[in-house]
């Protein structure tokens, strides 16, 4: 994507500095306890009270306004039609690179949404579960393309999203294990009677070229509000390498870990291998398939060092 093209897309946003965005919050006390923030954080990302109050609380309040508006519109349309049509879940899409902190953002929003005045039921679904199992990826010679568009069972994912938007009861989503690096066989997450569903994944804002002709694509059919978690590539690469080193001493030590073979690497070896994986796979996917979707998001959270959001961009109405 050309630089001028990127600037044209980003000009459709209103930009808030961290300080400007923080003033929008209507709360003056901590919403999440330190213990809750620890549970929501990840092995390489801690969440401070300031990050919650300055960035995510105003975002949660904005999402609440959006959901209330959607519910009001639904009620008014029912009155006009003189029918009781189904109320479908309010769907939030969260996209961005590997290691940029999408999952932590999703868990944090889930915790805050549960504190809305209406106490909505919230489910979090990751698109990792819709990757083809490793056996199929190996058969298709796609293991080194895992995370690229062709590695997903995109039709299964789209049918799941259509069922979600249609108000279908008791929908099941496949579950992925980052420990075994594979889809768990015969394991499903049930989605039933949810008010809000958060969909998180690198491909949330992508259009699948293979089936675009049939008008089946992730964007824009399902997301009521979408967020792209952004950062400079050198920061994301640094976070990826640091996480790899931390996992080497924790999850990789478990015999069932797909990456168990890396458990004995020293720091230099771990940095070299993780940097190579980043540059040959994740950086390529980011440049070709993930970052070009950024302009489709309703909001861009731009992070700086330490995973601190330094800027918020909100798409103009």
Q: Domain 3-311, what fold? A: Rossmann fold (3.40.50)
> What does the pLDDT look like over 36-59, one tens digit per residue?
999 999 888 889 999 999 999 999
> What does the pLDDT look like over 169-195, one tens digit per residue?
889 999 999 999 999 999 999 999 899
Total residues belonging to the chain: 317
Q: Is 141 left (phi over 0), alpha (psi -120 to 50) or beta?
A: left
Within 13 Å and on the Cβ side, how many CA atoms surround 74? 13
- Report how far residue 135's alpha carbon sits from residue 303's, in angstroms, rounded to the nearest whole number: 36
Tell which residue, 154, 158, 185, 181, has the closest CA to residue 171: 158
Q: Where are the domains of the chain?
A: 3-311
pLDDT reading at 212 higher than 70: no
> Which of 1-5, 8-12, 154-158, 233-237 is predicted most confidently?
233-237
Q: Cis before residue 177, ω within 30 degrees of 0?
A: no
- Report how far residue 192's alpha carbon sits from residue 106's, in angstroms, rounded to the nearest whole number: 19
What confidence tier does 239 reach under pLDDT thresholds 50, 70, 90? very high
The stretch 103-113 carries a mean pLDDT of 96
pTM as predicted: 0.92
pLDDT reading at 167 higher than 90: no
* Contacts with 25 (C-beta within 8 Å, 6 or more apart), sequence order: 53, 54, 57, 58, 61
> What percent of the chain is modeled with pLDDT above 70?
91
């Amino acid at each position: 994507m050309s630089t001028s093209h990127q600037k044209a897309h980003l000009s459709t946003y209103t930009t808030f500095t961290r300080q400007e965005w923080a003033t929008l919050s209507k709360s003056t006390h901590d919403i999440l306890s330190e213990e809750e923030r620890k549970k929501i954080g990840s092995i390489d990302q801690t969440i401070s009270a300031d990050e919650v109050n300055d960035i995510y609380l105003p975002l949660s309040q904005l999402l609440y306004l959006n959901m209330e508006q959607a519910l009001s519109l639904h009620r008014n349309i029912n009155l006009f039609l003189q029918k009781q049509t189904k109320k479908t879940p309010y769907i939030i899409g969260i996209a961005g690179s590997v290691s940029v902190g999408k999952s932590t953002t999703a868990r944090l929003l889930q915790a805050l949404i549960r504190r809305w005045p209406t106490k909505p039921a919230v489910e979090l679904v990751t698109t990792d579960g819709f990757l083809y199992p490793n056996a199929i990826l190996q058969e298709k010679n796609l293991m080194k393309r895992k995370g690229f568009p062709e590695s997903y069972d995109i039709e299964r994912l789209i049918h799941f999203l259509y069922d979600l938007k249609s108000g279908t009861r008791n929908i099941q989503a496949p579950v992925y294990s980052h420990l075994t690096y594979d889809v768990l066989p015969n394991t499903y997450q049930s989605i039933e009677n949810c008010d809000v569903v958060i969909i998180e994944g690198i491909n949330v804002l992508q259009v699948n070229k293979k089936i675009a002709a049939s008008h089946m694509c992730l964007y824009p059919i399902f997301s009521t509000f979408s967020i792209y978690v952004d950062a400079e590539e050198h920061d994301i690469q640094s976070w990826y390498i640091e996480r790899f080193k931390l996992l080497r001493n924790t999850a990789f030590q478990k015999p069932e870990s797909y990456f168990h073979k890396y458990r004995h690497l020293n720091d230099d070896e771990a940095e070299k291998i993780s940097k190579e994986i980043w540059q040959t796979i994740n950086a390529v996917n980011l440049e070709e398939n993930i970052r070009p979707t950024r302009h489709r998001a309703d909001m861009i959270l731009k992070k700086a060092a330490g995973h601190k959001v330094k800027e918020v961009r909100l798409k103009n109405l």
